[in-house]
Structure 1
Amino acid sequence: MVAGITGASLHQVDRMTREHRLTAATAANPGPCPLPVAVTGQIGGRPWRTGLDYAEAPALLRHLVTAAFVVISYLTGMRPEESLALNSGCCPDPQPGTADHPPSWNLINARHFKSARDPDGNHPSAGIPRPVPWVAIAPAVTAIRVLERLTPPGRALLPPTTTPTPAATASWAPSASTSASPTSSPGSTTKPPPGAHPTKPSRPTRTAPSPAPACGVPSPGTSPASPEA
């Protein structure tokens, strides 16, 4: 944001941030950071909010992209994987009509995956171009145009988000320090770290009791009683 407002390069902004310790100063003196963007969206004829803050921009962007995905998928009938594979420029502007030909429809060039096969009969994971484009109505086209303003030309409109996996969600195995010790108090249990998925304890095996010996028949492994004198 600072680079965009001042015209400085990202390298210059990063150097000034480190030299003047601006990150620590911001943490010590928190406050609003309104964006110089006019709120044009309305609900019931009134602006849906008074302003936008820099800190909430990432969350609002996620909501906007999610809403566009829902609109495109619902109003076109695309499967989720087909909507996620759309690229910038997939919906060109329709050709204007003439006296002999009416104006063309808004068409979306997409890829399909369910029955996709390459010349060798294999299923390509990237899908293949759909032979018949999707016909789009105005709200779906608007959603695509919004995503295209956020996406470089030729790139995916809905790129996957890469989130690092926390260490707590890695495979967890009890170590010597976390396993139960002989001195543990009765009834104490070892709890895995938050977010981990410990292995379920094995179910105990039931053993059928040995049948009671019949009258006068000795049990296995015992000697018959000696007769009374």
Structure 2
Amino acid sequence: MFSLAVLSLRLRVSGFHQIRRSTATVVSGNKTSRLVRERLKQQVEEMKSLFSGFRPGLVVLQVGDRDDSNLYISTKLRAAAEIGIEAKHLKLPNTTTQEEVLKNILSINENSSVHGLIVQLPLDSVNSIDTELITNAVSPEKDVDGLSCINAGKLSRATSRTASSPAPPTAAWSSSDRRVSPFNKHTLWTQTHLRDQSEPDSCDFLFLCRRVSGGETRW
């Protein structure tokens, strides 16, 4: 009798897992990326037609010469050029001091032809540089990655629509937006955040979920 009960339980568990597997969804990041780039390219063209001589400007600031950073930056520059953004790469040597990085950021903040600034992390310098100080020096209006405390604070308030959202959680939301219900996204990414609270992107995604849903978080 006990054996039959165990067998019945195993069949139920097996059936449950089959049901769970059958609901899995494969999300195409490449497809979403293509759609986003097409939309942004159209928006840039519309802005150029409205404002004569206007061209969106982006600067990627790098300290050092890390191979992984070089790869990421080349991808960003290529994507920017594809949608019509004038992107420049400001590469500083690994002997750059914190004061020199701040001076460059201040200059970019005051440059009206530059509309966005990305500080490539990590800052690969032989000198000690406070990363938080550097990211907070970026003007919130030009903070593409949303790393400044002002934009992070706005994002955490959920109801603010003026904050820049970090790229990884925004990309994850966009990729799943057409295939996954908001409730499931809340559940999935809240569980991710609880599983690894040291991972900032999980927390940022949770804040993004709250903002999109008007401040409501489902636990």
TM-score, structure 1 length as denominator? 0.22
Specify the structure having the higher radius of gyration (Cα). 1
From the two aligned structures, give the one with the greater helix fraction. Answer: 2
**Higher relative contact order, structure no. (Cα contacts within 8 Å, ≥ 6 residues apart):** 2
TM-score, structure 2 length as denominator? 0.23
